[in-house]
Amino acid sequence: MAAENLKQYIIVYLNSKKYGINIQYIDSIIFMQKITRVPGAQDYFMGVINLRGEVVPVMSLKKRLGLPEEEYGSKARIIIIRPEPQAACVGLVVDQVKEVITLEEDSIEKMSYDESDEKAQFNAGIGKVEDDLIDLLNITAITRT
């Protein structure tokens, strides 16, 4: 019963902080695997992986958001994102995938941001869940490399 004003988000952890990714962009979630480094790539790209016979680039979401990066544990996952229905996939590495939540449009607060700050564009709003605040990610901006 997905009403029009309901949106589903996957909650992921980056350095123990919660972030929300709109479920519409998500193709699949896979275990961490060997990532082949690509020399000369943007620093937030960890490399490429073999996803069912296709070569998919993988990004460190932490680095992309300007967060400090540490070793990934056993709970780390790669979220395979398809920014547009026909576009190629790209992977985002996160520390942990927690749960799926449903937010009403009313409980999403839009943030005003400074156009010149690239990092600020990565925020798509703040989601209010009970007394928790979740940073909702702007996937389109993040994958626009």
**Interacting residue ranges for another protein, rule: CB under 8 A:** 34, 36-42, 45, 48-50, 53-57, 59, 88, 90, 143, 145
Shortest Cβ distance from residue 13 to another protein (Å)?
A: 23
Burial class, 59, CB count within 10 angstroms (exposed 0-12 / middle 13-18 / buried 19+): buried
Q: Distance between CA atoms of 34 and 49, rounded to whole angstroms?
A: 7
Q: Give a three-class secondary structure readout of 23-49.
A: HHHEEEEEECCCCECCCCCCCCEEEEE
Give whichever of 1 and 52 is closer to another protein, judged by the CB atom.
52
Give whichever of 22 and 143 is closer to another protein, judged by the CB atom.
143
Shortest Cβ distance from residue 40 to another protein (Å)?
A: 3
Shortest Cβ distance from residue 35 to another protein (Å)?
A: 9
Q: Distance between CA atoms of 14 and 47, rounded to whole angstroms?
A: 19
Is residue 138 a contact partner of residue 120, using CB atoms and an 8 Å limit? no
Give whichever of 53 and 73 is closer to another protein, judged by the CB atom.
53
Give whichever of 39 and 85 is closer to another protein, judged by the CB atom.
39
Shortest Cβ distance from residue 4 to another protein (Å)?
A: 31
Q: Distance between CA atoms of 127 and 40, rounded to whole angstroms?
A: 36
